[in-house]
Amino acid sequence: MSEKKVKKVKKSRYSFSLKDLIRFYTRFSIPWWMYVISLVLGLVYSELLIRQAEFTIAFNKGELFNSTIINFALLYIASSIVAALENFFSGIASLKVTLRARKTVWNKILHLPMEEVDRRQPSALISGITSDVGQASTLLTMIFLVVSSIYSLARAIIEVIKQNYTMSVILVVIIPLGILVFTFVGRVEHEVYKRNVTSFRTMTEYFSEHVTAAKNVKTRAMEDQEEEAGLKAIDAKFKADLYSAIMGQIQVACFSLYNRIGTVFTAIAGSSMIRAGKMESTGITDFDTYLNRVYQYTSEILTQYQSLRATQGALQYVGDMLEGPQEELDKGESAPEKVGDLTLEHVTFGYDQAHPVLNDLSVTIPAGKITALIGSNGSGKSTLLKLLQGVYKPDSGVIRMGGNDVAAMAPHALRKEFGYILQNNPLFSGTVRGNIMYGAPKATDEQITVAAKMADADGFIQELADGYDTDIGEGGKNLSGGQRQRVAIARTLLTEPTYLLMDEAGASLDHKSDTTIFRSVRENLKGHTIVVVAHDMRSVVEADHIIVLDHGTLEVQGSPDELLKTSPTYRSYLEKQGYALAGEGAAR
Amino acid sequence: MEFSAIFRKKYGSFRRFFHMLLQARLPFLWIALDLAFSFGIINIGVSATEYSAKLYAGEVDFGTVVLPFLVVTIISLVLGSLSGIVTNVCTAFMNRNLRRMVWRKAVRLPLSFYDEGGPREMISRITQDTTSISNLIMRIIIPIITGAYSSWMILQKISTYDAALMWSLVAILPVYVVFNFIMGRLNFGLNDLINLRNAQLTAAISEKAGNMMLVKTMGTEESELQAGVEKMEASYKASVMSTAIGQISQPMHTIAYLLQTIVTIMVGRGFYASGAITLPEWIAYYGFASQLCNLLADYLGYWASFKSIQGATDRVSQIMDAPSEETKTGEAAGNLAGEITLDHVDFSYGEVPLFQDLSITIPAGKITAIVGPSGSGKSTILNLINRLYPIQGGTVSIGGKDTAKYSLATYRKAMSYVTQECVMYAGTLRDNLCQGLKRSPTDAELDEVCETAGILDYVKSLPEGYNTFVGEGGASLSGGQRQRFTVASALLRQQDLLLLDEATAAMDIDGKDRVWTGIRKVMAGKTVVFVAHDGQTIRNADYIIVLRDGAVEAAGDREVILATNPFCMEMMSMKEEEAD
């Protein structure tokens, strides 16, 4: 078992290399031609910009002729059209890449094994689709932009050298210094960003935990302590803000200092050259204009390089997930024709390897009967139901359906055999009908009504404003808890499961609804195989077969009458719920 | 009349806004310092533009041009950096003070306030909306002031070159405003559409990604894939449209900018040609004119951001305007051991009345169960005893004394109320057990209450014992374990009155049995009131009150009620057939 543990750990420490990055981009098609067109347009644009600079210089020299102004205007419009086209192509290409990457990732998420879903947390999966995949197109766009920025930089450098060969020596200082400054600032920025994000998250976590518990604070009359603790959380964020106030400004100061070096140099060197008659009197304008372009492109390239590195983390998460395991839903045998017993043979399973929930468990759930699973919290009852449906795979042992190993069956085929109802079943925003049809999209109105009647839901649905077409709100928030449960049960019954699994399905209902719903389910599904997990012994004594679990092992299984003799746990449960063990009826 | 109503409403929100700013203790000293720095930078900036114009024009005397140029460059660098720090520090202070203000208020708001907006909303009020308010001040109000000052300085400078040039520039300013306004309107509606589509995508994905178990067991992967892809494509289409329109509008922006530039040049050209201004003055004018243009563009931007911030500031100012719960006034509550009576109580959460003229007596020193179908008002009785909501009529008294006379802080401290939610916070087990407790109990004391709640064995099995850290919301514990710790924590308060709302619902049969045996022992002779819906728990009551639709259906000793009340008979019946 320890060997397996090592295996699981290794999987999560998957490292992301350049090779993986390239493989990531082969998972969907990339509109290369759009990127290439946009690159060509980008090069044309930088040529036009160099021309524009000439006009800026002319204006600064007071050359304000009509022809100059008109030519400037024409050039300016032409270059803006080129820029618009460039942005259009790269923009659409990015959107296409994002869309395709999203589809790929969403497909993967839907096919992740449940263990991976648990490990990754839903919120991370969601941001994987909504924000992380955006970085896939950013990375591509950046690569093309860097190419055109490098070209522009080269052009600007040539112009600077043309303007004044002697003074262009400053380039030797500016470019390497730029790299140094950006590296330094990048580090500081990373640190500031990290602190900001962490401190904001810590504060938000505090408030989301405490604001939602307003009732608790009031019932314990602990407003004063609560206020103090909240102020501390606010002050912690304030300290982080002060840190970034100063460090953030140091970055800005570094940039301004760096930018002024060129200005100061041009002023001193240029003025002395003019005084010495080595440069024409308005030469500073020319030189400064082109030098500014050098600055602009240097910083463009370096900024793009920085953000390239930032995309890495986000893509690593998505890439890592795409590399990971996935379920092949339709690969495998179909379900056995005949309804058979469900059996577990020496099954061991744990959500993490160190703590097995089921331990070498062998039990039989007889076909066509009602089986109750009982045992204390954490004895493995719910886990057993999940394993039956192949949502989790046993670490060892075999699960059989009518004698066939379920591991060989296609997950879809296997899960279609089951209906699964929990204590709280999620509903989705949409209509009542949409929710009931969730697992059976081809159902007719008549079938829907029949299922709703079986779940004792038809009555209240008819009374809703729009009947079956009533919008139930996000998570079904417009319905009461009992109504939600009935809709969920109808949804399950509509899929016509061969085996019905109910995990504390009535625990959140008041006993009247509980009784009505289950009587109806039981009558309508007579002859079906039903497995019930319940703490209410009234449901348990009704069962044909009872399995008593104790810490993931079988204590005993058998009919209620047999268990009265063989199981102390069963007997004590009955006693604690007021059953007089000698005879029938309640102890009143 | 309608107009005056609108006016009143607007006036009301402004009044609230200023009222809130007064409470916020803004860092006025820092704001003043920030303004001072900004004014300094503007002055230096004007000089810097002038000197660089001279350099461009070829005036290169070291003493009168180059040296002063270098000096102003360095001064503006230093001032700029310092001013940046001041702005950031000022913002940090402002955020802190605003957050403190909202949090202090949030803690004291009555529970009904949270019911209306949903507690989740309050989180973003504290963490994010406060930032919006400081943005309003630091990024809109202050820039408007400094922008006005800067414009004035620039125009004044130009008037020293030639007064007529200055007036010509002023005359064409409205042209700039119109250009910028039109450009500003272009992208508006589209961004809303994109945001809407993205929000829909996120909502759809989160609903499903959070419930993967259901998707798997229902086998709906393929249809979910299709549904998700549809949302993605909708978001894609909106973005494509916006990209296309954005790029089409690009040349229009260019033309607007060109027109501005040409107008500026045309105005200046005449003055330069006639010799009214020199070359350096022309260059400075050209530079100043484009600065002025940008300032105006900024002003229009402020209006757009003001609109988006307005919502956030309005919500915060509403919170600050809401009445707080008064917890300190009233007599100090001491012994709450007496009989509890609700006398002709009227109560409703919203429009629909829940209790009308409800009278109940809960006997002292006994264990009383409140039972009834869902929605009958069971939990509300406990909430009203705890005074979480004000009653609309009648009285709630304990031992013959009207509970409204007690100060809330002492009153709630004098009893223990275990709510359905059984809240645990990120922290150690000890912290959680001692929630709201002023004293520090010994380990022996903790052992005792944990033993009663049936969780001591678990604590002892942990290597860190009571110092074990539980995750956010007690995430590392199961529902049953959280309930046991919450009950233990309530027992630690050692009060004469204990209220329990479904406090043992998540426990297994043995767990319930053990906890109730413990409660019966510890609370012997004291008053316990509980709400439950399972027979096993209800069997622990001495006295039972049956509620139906906000009225008492029956009340009396357990044996009597269980034998005579149909609701209870049905609930306790062992075989379902008997209930018929």
Q: Is A22 in contact with A30 (CB distance < 8 Å)?
A: no
Query: Which residues of chain B are within 8 Å of residue A117 when distances are taken between CB atoms?
Result: 212
Closest CB to A577 among B279, B412, B536:
B536
A305 CA: distance to closest CA in chain B (Å) = 24
Kindly state the helix (H) or strand (E) to which residue B428 belongs, with its residue range.
Answer: strand B427-428
Q: Is A320 in contact with A512 (CB distance < 8 Å)?
A: no
**Alpha-carbon distances, residue A520 vs A490, A524, A533, B51, B565 (angstroms):** 11, 6, 18, 91, 25
Closest CB to B106 among A211, A221, A391:
A211
Query: Which residues of chain B are within 8 Å of residue A220 when distances are taken between CB atoms?
Result: 412-413, 417, 435-436
| Contact state of B409 with A264 under an 8 Å Cβ cutoff | no
Q: What is the CA radius of gyration of chain B?
A: 35
Measured CA to CA, the distance from residue A10 to residue A382 in angstroms comes to 28
Percentage of residues in chain A with pLDDT exceeding 70?
96
B316 — contact with chain A (CB < 8 Å)?
no
Which phi and psi (to 5°) does residue A404 adopt? -90, 140
Rounded to a whole number of angstroms, the distance between the first and last alpha carbons of chain A is: 51
A481 — contact with chain B (CB < 8 Å)?
yes
Measured CA to CA, the distance from residue A414 to residue A404 in angstroms comes to 11
Residue A15 has a pLDDT of 53
Measured CA to CA, the distance from residue B128 to residue B118 in angstroms comes to 16
Test mutation, A98, A218, A417, chain B, max B CBs within 10 A: A218
Strand pairing partners for B447? Answer: none
Residue A580 has a pLDDT of 66
Measured CA to CA, the distance from residue B344 to residue B360 in angstroms comes to 9
A195 — contact with chain B (CB < 8 Å)?
no
Residue B186 has a pLDDT of 58
Of A92-96, A224-228, B529-533, the poorest mean pLDDT is in: A224-228
CA dihedral B23, B26, B32, B37 (to 10 degrees): -150
pLDDT of residue A552 exceeding 50: yes
Band (A8; pLDDT cuts 50, 70, 90):
very low
**CA nearest to A258 within chain B:** B77
For residue range A12-63, what is the model confidence (pLDDT) as tens digits? Answer: 444 556 787 888 899 999 999 999 999 999 999 989 988 888 888 888 888 8
B8 CA: distance to closest CA in chain A (Å) = 33
Query: Which residues of chain B are within 8 Å of residue A55 when distances are taken between CB atoms?
Result: none
Tell me the residues of chain B between 25 and 64 that have a Cβ less than 8 Å away from chain A. 55-58, 60, 62
Q: DSSP for A312-379, please give it.
A: HHHHHHHHHHHHS----TT-SBPPPSS---EEEEEEEE-SSTTS-SEEEEEEEE-TTSEEEEE-STTS
B478 — contact with chain A (CB < 8 Å)?
yes
B194 — contact with chain A (CB < 8 Å)?
no
What sign for the dihedral angle of Cα A534, A536, A540, A546?
Answer: positive
Residue A342 has a pLDDT of 95
DSSP structural state of residue A475: G
Q: Which of A29, A99, A120 is nearest to A325 (CA)?
A: A120
B60 CA: distance to closest CA in chain A (Å) = 5
A475 — contact with chain B (CB < 8 Å)?
yes
**CA nearest to B247 within chain A:** A84
CA dihedral B112, B117, B119, B121 (to 10 degrees): -150
Q: Is A426 in contact with B223 (CB distance < 8 Å)?
A: no
Q: State mean pLDDT over A571-581.
A: 82
Measured CA to CA, the distance from residue A63 to residue A56 in angstroms comes to 10
Test mutation, A110, A247, A256, A512, chain B, max B CBs within 10 A: A110
Lookup: tokens for A114: 């449940």
Query: Which residues of chain A are within 8 Å of residue B251 when distances are taken between CB atoms?
Result: 77, 80-81, 84
What sign for the dihedral angle of Cα B175, B178, B181, B186?
Answer: negative
**CA nearest to A476 within chain B:** B207
A312 — contact with chain B (CB < 8 Å)?
no
| Contact state of A92 with B240 under an 8 Å Cβ cutoff | yes
Residue A352 has a pLDDT of 78
**Helices and strands, number each (H, E), in chain A:** 21, 10
Query: Which residues of chain A are within 8 Å of residue B106 when distances are taken between CB atoms?
Result: 211, 214, 230
Residue A507 has a pLDDT of 75
Measured CA to CA, the distance from residue A202 to residue A230 in angstroms comes to 11
DSSP structural state of residue B331: B
Residue A585 has a pLDDT of 40
What is the strand order of the sheet A404-405 is part of?
Answer: A358-365, A342-349, A396-401, A404-405
For residue range A185-210, what is the model confidence (pLDDT) as tens digits? Answer: 888 888 888 888 888 888 888 888 88
Rounded to a whole number of angstroms, the distance between the first and last alpha carbons of chain B is: 63
Closest CB to B472 among A96, A205, A420:
A205
| Contact state of B574 with A519 under an 8 Å Cβ cutoff | no
Burial A480-510 (b: 16+ CB within 10 A, else e): eebbbbbbbbbbbbbbebbbbbbbbbbbbbb
pLDDT of residue A540 exceeding 90: no
Q: Three-class SS string for B355-403?
A: EEEEEEEECCCCEEEEECCCCCCHHHHHHHHCCCCCCCEEEEEECCEEH
Tell me how many degrees the CA angle B164-B169-B170 measures, rounded to the nearest 5: 95
| Contact state of B576 with A99 under an 8 Å Cβ cutoff | no
Residue A105 has a pLDDT of 92
Query: Which residues of chain A are within 8 Å of residue B478 when distances are taken between CB atoms?
Result: 377-378
Measured CA to CA, the distance from residue B250 to residue B315 in angstroms comes to 37
For residue range A346-384, what is the model confidence (pLDDT) as tens digits? Answer: 999 988 777 789 999 999 999 999 999 998 888 889 999
Residue B184 has a pLDDT of 63
Strand pairing partners for A586? Answer: A579
Test mutation, B44, B107, B116, chain A, max A CBs within 10 A: B107
Measured CA to CA, the distance from residue B209 to residue B226 in angstroms comes to 14
3-class state of residue B550 by DSSP: coil
- Share of chain A residues as helix, strand and coil, in percent rounded to the nearest 5: 65, 10, 25
Q: Which of B215, B207, B112, B377 is nearest to A472 (CA)?
A: B207
A428 — contact with chain B (CB < 8 Å)?
yes
Band (A532; pLDDT cuts 50, 70, 90):
very high
DSSP structural state of residue A169: G
B549 — contact with chain A (CB < 8 Å)?
no
Of A168-172, A445-449, A458-462, the poorest mean pLDDT is in: A168-172
B462 — contact with chain A (CB < 8 Å)?
no
Q: Which of A123, A119, A128 is nearest to A101 (CA)?
A: A128
- Residue with token string 């062992």: B574
Report how many Cβ contacts below 8 Å link chain A to chain B.
389
Measured CA to CA, the distance from residue A46 to residue A28 in angstroms comes to 32
| Contact state of B85 with A77 under an 8 Å Cβ cutoff | no
Q: Is A509 in contact with A517 (CB distance < 8 Å)?
A: yes
A507 — contact with chain B (CB < 8 Å)?
yes
**CA nearest to B493 within chain A:** A220
A21 CA: distance to closest CA in chain B (Å) = 23
B273 — contact with chain A (CB < 8 Å)?
yes
Residue B191 has a pLDDT of 66
pTM summary value: 0.80
Kindly state the helix (H) or strand (E) to which residue A206 belongs, with its residue range.
Answer: helix A170-211
Q: Which of A486, A501, A585, A578 is nearest to A537 (CA)?
A: A578
Q: Which of B408, B370, B414, B368 is nearest to B390 (CA)?
A: B408
**CA nearest to B385 within chain A:** A219
Q: DSSP for B466-532, please give it.
A: GG-EE-GGGTTS-HHHHHHHHHHHHHHT--SEEEEESTTTTS-HHHHHHHHHHHHHHTTTSEEEEE-
B560 — contact with chain A (CB < 8 Å)?
no
| Contact state of A220 with B436 under an 8 Å Cβ cutoff | yes
Q: Is A559 in contact with A544 (CB distance < 8 Å)?
A: yes
Residue B571 has a pLDDT of 78
Query: Which residues of chain B are within 8 Å of residue A330 when distances are taken between CB atoms?
Result: none
Q: Three-class SS string for A244-258?
A: HHHHHHHHHHHHHHH
Test mutation, A219, A500, A501, chain B, max B CBs within 10 A: A219
Q: Which residues of chain B have pLDDT under 70?
A: 1-12, 117-120, 179-180, 182-192, 304, 574-580
Measured CA to CA, the distance from residue A58 to residue B109 in angstroms comes to 66
Q: Which residues contact A566 (CB under 8 A, 6 or more apart)?
A: A556, A558
